[in-house]
Amino acid sequence: MDSITNLLLSSFLCSILVVSTTAVNRISTTQSIKDGDTIVSIGGSFALGFFSPGSSKKRYIGIWYNKISNDSRTVVWVANRETPVTDSSGVLMVTQQGVLVLLNSTESIILSSNLTKPGKTPVAELLDSGNFVLRNADDDNPQNYLWQSFDHPTDTFLPGMKFGINYKTGLDMILRSWQSSDDPAQGDYTYSMDSHGFPQYFIRKDTVKVFRSGPWNGVRFSGMPTISSNPIYNFTFVMNQNETYFNYNLLDSSVVSRMVLNQDGVQRRMTWKEGSSTSWIEHLTTEMTNCDTLAFCGPYGLCTVSNSPECGCLQLFEPKFPKDWGTDWSNGCVRRTPLNCSGVNGDKFWKYSGVKVPDTENSWFSVSMTLKECETMCLKNCSCMAYANLDVRGEGSGCLLWFDELVDIRVIKNGQDLYVRMDASEFVLGQAGHNWNKAKTIIVILVVSTATLILGLAISLYIWKEWQKREGKTIGHPEQGYYKESKNEDIELPLFHLVTITKATDNFAIDNKLGEGGFGPVYKGMLEGGQEIAVKLLSKDSKQGVDEFKNEVICIAKLQHRNLVKLLGYCIQGEERMLIYEFMPNNNLDSFIFDQSQKMLLDWPKRFHIINGIARGLLYLHQDSRLRIIHRDLKGSNILLDHEMNPKISDFGLARIFEANETQANTRRVVGTYGYMSPEYAVEGLFSVKSDVFSFGVLVLEIVSGNRNRGFYHQDHHLNLLGHAWRLYKEDRTRELIDEPLQDSCNLPEVLRSIQVGLLCVQQRPEDRPNMASVVLMLGGEGALTHPKQPGFFTERNLLEAESTGSNFEQCSANTISTTVVEAR
């Protein structure tokens, strides 16, 4: 909160009326809540005020049950869980602007709410649902709330609360456990929705996933069989283009119910019945057995609680490492007969019943397809490993496909059917039944016939290729096919013929040129079906060779996230190499923030939405995707914007795939863009996830200020944008960094927080920079921020001087032993 707001607050503190009784359920801008005072919801169900948990002496603003006489103050929400008041001087109040603030004895603001829209006559009201809301006094429509505690839960999920993600606002509701019974600060565990693939919920310990709910199957979450119809509450799962969430509502008004994430990482449903002599009764738990632990039995393993040991392999699978099986199940199982994927008749599907379906992170779904259509679609794609009904009600409907190893499968009550891809020979064996010799004969015939056919095709293909080379012709494909890098990668993408792309772009007409990328021009096109595409044409003079081209194909083909650009296919014909992407109608981020007219279209909510989207995309690359990927060239021109201004990270030609145990790497060939490269990468060739974090920090400061880091000019000094932002921060003049068009639309605390996060990301030492998981939390307003240290490349004077002599130069590394070639863009 800035100094002007502090002045506004102090100017009317003297006129504040203190709430001194529990007869009211709201406060206005002329009232406040002091320590010792409470407000009570209109039906008397909940109270709000200051409290001290357990044996702690610290004071917190919280909401607790008011009617349960034998309850020792069960707190369901805490406002200042990370910033307690150390004495009884705390005051909670509402400003004229509609911001909820908590003051201490020095009248310093230690907590303020993020305002989603400006208020006219704001009041803060405690509802009988336990929701604490900010609204205009004359408008009680929930759609028009200025702010509500239900959007920012702590460890408790209450009836009526939406638990999920709002795609329009970017709001992600997350339950976070208490540190201990004496400390409501965020503990080790979180519980939240993951929308990669088909949505599901995860409990994480720090950043490690430890429990998975499974996808919603129309009746319940696949991995939570105890959620079923009951007389106490009903529940719904909503998924549309605006939001995805789960909620529940009580049917019996005499029953109080809550779901809480405990300090041990267990999610429990608790109930209390009016007139009951007992305390809370526990009804639902998660993670009670090894089988509830995520991927306990490894890929294609099947966990069964009643077995000893619990882990086995799916039928027709065998342990990957038999010698270790029985002591270590993490490596899982493999098919006893490998897949051949030789066409529609090459593979079939084996039905497994009564199971929790696998992790849906790498999945695809359709609500309209039948199960037969689902099977046909899966057969056509060699990467599709299994399918199931999306909705199990009645005869079943919808389609859910899996495109990766199947993990976290268990036998479960009220489980569903899962169809897993198997080699057709396994079904021959099954049909042979008691006649094993006949089955062996069939297998031998199939193997010999297949081998002969493959050998013949291989020889024919070799002869044809050699003939093509002698004739000087190119090897192409008449229609769309599939690209497969079979040595170490298994990637399948549509292959487009050059004729198709030429027709789509009107023979690469100049009117269709969208711009010039780092490695060549980009053209707009339209396929015959009406789909708009962007074609990245690799320049013949480009330094991106076959390796970089393959790298971009491999990286993007395996990534699916709403904040990453989608690769539709590729084209290789002769010397021509092209990548075909989804078309982004709003071009790139640079075209908006650095254009004086275009930047007027980007108010602060849009810019903050873009910042959060980039952060989530990077978090996926660094942590949540099945590959750990370092982008190495994150900048505004590589952030594309769709028709709703959603950001999508693009251009993976320089990206580097890390192994699971890799944390950093070194290279003699430093590639990237001046102004965005981290110091350790540009100088020493060292790169890691923290290199991308540095680039992200530069982007944040550019988005907020509307100025480029490179070429930044200020009449008072010769610092670059990072140095300028750092100077303003140290002098408590941070608001001067804000781009002028944002003055009327910005949420000042949110903007200032974003600037501080940006400065934390560009600190000199990589170990001082936060990871992207922390960045996402900080941008969401979680916890107090630390003070940043001096940024890297404080002035960039040496780099700018070097740039003026040419784009390539050699710079000695810190140990002066080796040199690093820098290819700047």
Largest Cα–Cα distance of the chain, in whole Å?
Answer: 96
**798: its two tokens:** 């040496």
Q: Are 536 and 517 in contact (CB under 8 A)?
A: yes
Tallying the residues shown for the chain, one arrives at 825
* Cα 798 to Cα 333: distance, rounded to the nearest angstrom: 55
Rounded to 5°, angle at Cα 774 from 771 and 780:
140
Rounded to 5°, angle at Cα 340 from 337 and 343:
135
**28: its two tokens:** 């206005």
Q: Are 312 and 298 in contact (CB under 8 A)?
A: no
The answer for residues whose C-beta is within 8 angstroms of residue 395's C-beta and 6 or more apart is none
Residue owning tokens 């015959």: 528
* Cα 97 to Cα 86: distance, rounded to the nearest angstrom: 27
* Cα 410 to Cα 289: distance, rounded to the nearest angstrom: 11
**239: its two tokens:** 């998924």
* Cα 355 to Cα 304: distance, rounded to the nearest angstrom: 10
Residue owning tokens 């959620």: 227
Q: Is the dihedral of CA 436, 438, 441, 447 positive or negative?
A: negative
Q: Are 721 and 701 in contact (CB under 8 A)?
A: yes
Clarify whether 128 is annotated catalytic.
Answer: no
Q: Which of 531, 497, 246, 298 is nearest to 407 (CA)?
A: 298
Q: Are 562 and 641 in contact (CB under 8 A)?
A: no
- DSSP structure string for 412-471: -TT-EEEEEEEEHHHHHHHHHTT-HHHHHHHHHHHHHHHHHHHHHHHHHHHHHHHHHHHH
* Cα 175 to Cα 153: distance, rounded to the nearest angstrom: 6
* Cα 388 to Cα 402: distance, rounded to the nearest angstrom: 9
**335: its two tokens:** 């098919």
User: Parallel, antiparallel, or unpaired: how do β-strands 639-641 and 647-649 relate?
Assistant: antiparallel
For residues 121-142, one letter each, b for 16 or more C-beta atoms within 10 angstroms of the residue's C-beta and e for the rest, the string is ebbbbbbebbbbbbbbeeeeee
* Cα 404 to Cα 299: distance, rounded to the nearest angstrom: 10
* Cα 43 to Cα 46: distance, rounded to the nearest angstrom: 8
Catalytic residue selected from 359, 624, 633, 739: 633
**3-class DSSP state for residue 678?**
coil
**211: its two tokens:** 């429990």
Q: Which residues are catalytic?
A: 633
